[in-house]
Amino acid sequence: MADALQQPALAQPKLAVHDLNVYYGNFQALHAIDLDIQEHAITALIGPSGCGKSTFLRCLNRMNDLIADARVEGSVLLDGEDIYHPRVDVAALRKRVGMVFQRANPFPMSIYDNVAYGPRIHGVRSKERLNHIVESSLRKAALWDEVSDRLNKNAMGLSGGQQQRLCIARLLAVEPEVLLMDEPASALDPISTMHIEELMISLKDAYTIVIVTHNMQEAARVSDTTAFFLNGELVEAGETEQIFHAPREERTEAYISGRFG
């Protein structure tokens, strides 16, 4: 088992999770998870519904703090510092470690204001500076060319795939280091999915990306490392090529080849 959880020997991880246990009331959702998230790489979390992968993702920027009876034990180190330390500013943490959700959730305001929202909250007032942030964020999110002539139009008028890229642009505008994506393409058609996947690959040089996905092919296509969760346990983590070619654990094999889940 220890062997199955062995990580590729790389530089200091961006995020180091050690002995993480999460409880919702009396229910233990995660059991003693050890996992390193490498910088400038895409880590995919896979597993059947209810396996704990989204819970794990939410632990990485303390989104579980918002759930009343959730309790987190263990450590999550971001660049070597414990994000669960009492002195940590959670708002500042979530600026560094941002999240994209399954359903695109643009604010009911203009495209421009969606992207400028975060920087404004964080005190950016200069119109020139905001213009620059909005354009560069939309460019990084591969959306600029599609919306540059209608920045003042309501974001709700964009297609689903464009809305999801807008949410990514909105996240990039506050200059995060880690992007957490919870099934970012599951509600999108194949072309929009391809755009999101291409975007993820283009972003990984500058960011660290963790993605939860139910789509095995998506995990295989985009990620460098894959971690398989089952019943709140991390069954196996390793290089994506190894996981999909010759997984070490029978439970991984059974899941990825559709024998259950």
- Can you tell me the distance from the alpha carbon of 176 to that of 93, in angstroms, rounded to the nearest whole number? 9
- Can you tell me the distance from the alpha carbon of 147 to that of 165, in angstroms, rounded to the nearest whole number? 11
Q: How far is the CB of 257 from other proteins (least distance, A)?
A: 5
CB 71 within 8 A of CB 62: no
What x/- string results for residues 199 through 218 when contact with other proteins is judged by CB under 8 A? -----------------xx-
Size of the site for other proteins (CB under 8 A): 15
- Residue 237 bridge partners (DSSP): 227
Closer residue to other proteins in complex, CB, 131/257: 257
Closer residue to other proteins in complex, CB, 3/149: 3
Indicate which single residue of 71, 132, 153, 259 sits in contact with other proteins (rule: CB under 8 A). Answer: 259
- Can you tell me the distance from the alpha carbon of 57 to that of 53, in angstroms, rounded to the nearest whole number? 6
Q: How far is the CB of 248 from other proteins (least distance, A)?
A: 8
Token pair, residue 60, equals 């990485």
- Residue 72 bridge partners (DSSP): 22
What x/- string results for residues 228 through 257 when contact with other proteins is judged by CB under 8 A? ----------------xxxx----xx--xx
Closer residue to other proteins in complex, CB, 12/217: 217
Closer residue to other proteins in complex, CB, 80/258: 258
Q: 44: which residues sit within 8 A by CB, 6+ positions away? A: 211, 212, 213, 218, 219, 222, 223, 225, 226, 227, 240
CB 175 within 8 A of CB 206: no
Q: Rule CB under 8 A: which of 102-161 touch other proteins?
A: none
The sign of the CA dihedral 234, 90, 136, 184 is positive
Residue 189 CB neighbours (<10 A)? 11
What x/- string results for residues 159 through 198 when contact with other proteins is judged by CB under 8 A? ----------------------------------------
Closer residue to other proteins in complex, CB, 86/258: 258
Indicate which single residue of 3, 69, 89, 205 sits in contact with other proteins (rule: CB under 8 A). Answer: 3
- Look at residues 44, 33, 66 and name the one whose alpha carbon lies nearest to residue 181: 44
Q: Check binding of 220 to other proteins (CB under 8 A).
A: yes
Please give the residue ranges that form the binding site for other proteins (CB under 8 A). Answer: 3, 216-217, 220, 244-247, 252-253, 256-260
